[in-house]
């Protein structure tokens, strides 16, 4: 069966908006595991806009499944990964001004740099993955530097509405998945996936694993808000009954 890794970044986004202690990304990760998630993904950004260093450590120690640490290909993050030892590191491109990750990693232009990171992570048992566009040359380059897997960027597919263009993007992803698997790479996918658009991606036989976050957290707001309001009303009623008459 295809695996689901749940990204809990935006639980931390909500927490950081108020600078408080809740909602807690670890609590969310444990709920995701309880619901059947095969693993947890967090992206520790250089600007620490959501996930914090302490979150990575707590989630690594607290979950029962596996941790996939997304990070930029920079020395600071490599040191954190070596200290934390997640089961997998996924290198992604990162721009400070972007809202979310825009496009895949250009592996071809930085082979030596990425190979140097792989040579530090893999000997200590950390699997090495690269987030790439559905581009055959980038996937070839990932294999050449010894990546264990590639995560195919589904962003353009998820943003495309016109049927013919959508089919072209889906065909690119299918071809990239076949090519990656043919080279001996494990093939994952993610970015912008929702309950509605995930079906066609999950149907691609070479794709073993999906990383999904924002859509899950957004849906959770709706599905859990009614109960949250009811619980608050019950607590208020309990307090009201304690008022002195």
Instruction: Write down the pLDDT at residue 99.
Output: 58
The answer to whether residue 191 is catalytic is yes
The CATH number of the domain holding residue 171 is 3.20.20.70
Instruction: Write down the pLDDT at residue 228.
Output: 86
For 84-130, write each residue's pLDDT tens digit: 999 999 999 977 665 566 689 999 999 999 999 999 999 999 999 99
For 195-205, write each residue's pLDDT tens digit: 999 999 999 99
Instruction: Write down the pLDDT at residue 245.
Output: 56
Instruction: Write down the pLDDT at residue 236.
Output: 86
Instruction: Write down the pLDDT at residue 220.
Output: 94
Instruction: Write down the pLDDT at residue 97.
Output: 61
Residue with the larger pLDDT of the pair 125 and 1: 125
Given the residues 10, 43, 50, 179, select the one marked as catalytic.
43
The answer to whether residue 237 is catalytic is no
Number of domains making up the chain: 1
Instruction: Write down the pLDDT at residue 100.
Output: 62
Q: Band the pLDDT of 225: cuts 50, 70, 90.
A: confident
- Torsion angle of alpha carbons 181, 185, 187, 191, nearest 10°? -130
Residue with the larger pLDDT of the pair 69 and 97: 69
Instruction: Write down the pLDDT at residue 96.
Output: 64
23 cis-preceded (ω within 30 degrees of 0): yes
For 42-55, write each residue's pLDDT tens digit: 999 999 999 999 99
Mean pLDDT for the stretch of residues 220-227: 92
Given the residues 10, 50, 179, 191, select the one marked as catalytic.
191
Instruction: Write down the pLDDT at residue 105.
Output: 95
Domain that holds residue 117: 3-241
Is 185 a residue whose pLDDT tops 90? yes
| Percent of the chain residues topping a pLDDT of 90 | 89
The answer to whether residue 208 is catalytic is no
């Amino acid at each position: 069966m295809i695996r689901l890794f749940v990204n809990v970044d935006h639980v931390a986004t909500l927490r950081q908006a108020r600078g408080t202690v809740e909602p807690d990304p670890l609590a969310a990760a444990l709920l995701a595991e309880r619901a059947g998630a095969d693993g947890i993904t967090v992206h520790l950004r250089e600007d620490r806009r959501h996930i914090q260093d302490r979150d990575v450590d707590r989630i690594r120690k607290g979950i029962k499944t596996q941790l996939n640490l997304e990070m930029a290909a920079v020395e600071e993050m490599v040191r954190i990964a070596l200290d934390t030892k997640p089961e997998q590191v996924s290198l992604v491109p990162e721009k400070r001004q972007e809202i979310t990750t825009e496009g895949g990693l250009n592996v071809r232009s930085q082979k030596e740099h990425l190979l140097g990171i792989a040579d530090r992570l893999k000997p200590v048992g950390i699997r090495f993955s690269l987030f790439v566009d559905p581009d055959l040359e980038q996937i070839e380059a990932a294999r050449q530097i010894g990546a264990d897997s590639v995560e195919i960027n589904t962003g353009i597919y998820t943003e495309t509405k016109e049927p013919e263009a959508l089919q072209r993007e889906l065909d690119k992803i299918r071809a990239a998945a076949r090519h990656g698997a043919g080279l001996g790479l494990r093939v994952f996918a993610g970015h912008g996936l929702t309950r509605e658009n995930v079906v066609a991606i999950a149907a691609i036989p070479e794709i073993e694993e999906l990383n999904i976050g924002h859509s899950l957290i957004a849906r959770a707001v709706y599905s859990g808000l009614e109960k949250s309001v009811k619980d608050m009303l019950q607590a208020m009623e309990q307090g009201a009954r304690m008022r002195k008459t």
